[in-house]
Amino acid sequence: MEELTDKELHALVSLLDDQDQEIKSHVQDKIISLGHGIIPFLEKKWEDSFNPEVQKEIEDLVHQLQFSQLKERLKDWVNSPDQDLLTGLWIINTYQYPDLEFDKINADMHQIYFEVWTGFKNDLLPHEQIKAINHVLFSNLRFSANTKNFHSPGNSMLSNVLETRKGNPISLCAIYLLVSQKLGLPIYGVNLPNLFVLTYKSSDVNFYINAFNKGLVFNKQDIHNYLEHLKIAPRDVFFEPCSNKDIVTRMIRNLIVSFEKLGETGKVEEVKALLQILE
């Protein structure tokens, strides 16, 4: 990032209310080129300004800078060897909550894991393990399906789901999955049409879990029936574990639908740009 003195920065930002569109546009480009390190300075200028038009200009610039930082983080995540799920979900989360720190969401998830772990015994049979997890997540901690506001963008924001305890199939499955894998269980995501579920898959045991329905356990035949009901031909992908990248991609697709339903076309375009990074 190019270093400007405070005096130069003040002078630059003061040109945002210049009437000459060409000057204004040049100033905006210059500010964007300075990178996200300039955000705290811009936020301070926003607080000190009494001109609503300049404040709006600053808000747009801050958003552009935060969004480009998000895209960089997402590219790094796609290229990372393990594509850590919690990190991927946190990056998506910063679209709506740019100041959210990874450490905060990590600590909240650890607390949930700890609650499950304290009531968990490793010598339980697979179905009993699921019962134990279900009891903590859905009875004690009161996680549940957000059926009232199914298409709310908040359902795709992990911090929001952790706070309200309400989510959509994929966010509830993600929490379940993160906790289960930390317990060392062979639990993975499964990409079904219109529904995201989990599978418990070891060398000798295989069944499915619906976190959107309080951890309901079901089997392969139930998936066949579900697909038949939707008139969709069975494919391997509907039965097999998917990757962390698949989960984050699906989360982003949900977000696109949420903003489409709200008529927020600008946000739809931005989130589609995130989808392109993953694809």
Task: Using the predicted structure, report yes or no on whether residue 223 has a pLDDT greater than 70.
Answer: yes
DSSP letter, residue 30: H
Q: What is the average pLDDT across 140-162?
A: 93
Element (H, E) at 152: none
d(CA 149, CA 166): 9
Q: Which helix (H) or strand (E) element contains residue 98?
A: none
Is 1 a residue whose pLDDT tops 60?
A: no
How far lies 99's CA from each of 18, 94, 159, in Å?
30, 7, 12
Q: Using a CB cutoff of 8 Å and minimum separation of 24, what contacts does 137-144 make?
A: 137/112, 137/175, 137/176, 137/179, 137/211, 137/215, 138/214, 138/215, 140/115, 141/112, 141/115, 141/165, 143/167, 143/172, 143/175, 144/214
Average pLDDT over residues 175-201: 95
Higher-pLDDT residue of 153 and 41 is: 153
CA distance 211 to 196: 9
Provide the pLDDT for residue 18: 65
Closest Cα partner for 109 from 156, 163, 179, 171?
Answer: 179
- Helix (H/G/I), strand (E/B), else coil: 201: strand
pLDDT of residue 36: 78
Candidates 98, 105, 91; CA nearest to 43 is 98
Q: What is the reported pLDDT for 2?
A: 58
Strand, coil or helix: what is 146?
coil
Q: Kindly tell me if the per-residue pLDDT of 131 is higher than 60.
A: yes
Q: Delineate the domains of the chain, giving CATH numbers in brackets.
A: 6-78 (no CATH), 85-278 (3.10.620)
Q: Across residues 256-264, what is the average pLDDT? A: 95
Predicted pLDDT of residue 77? 98
Query: Do the bridges between strand 144-145 and strand 166-167 make them parallel or antiparallel, or are there none, so unpaired?
Result: parallel
Compute the average pLDDT of residues 61-88.
Answer: 94
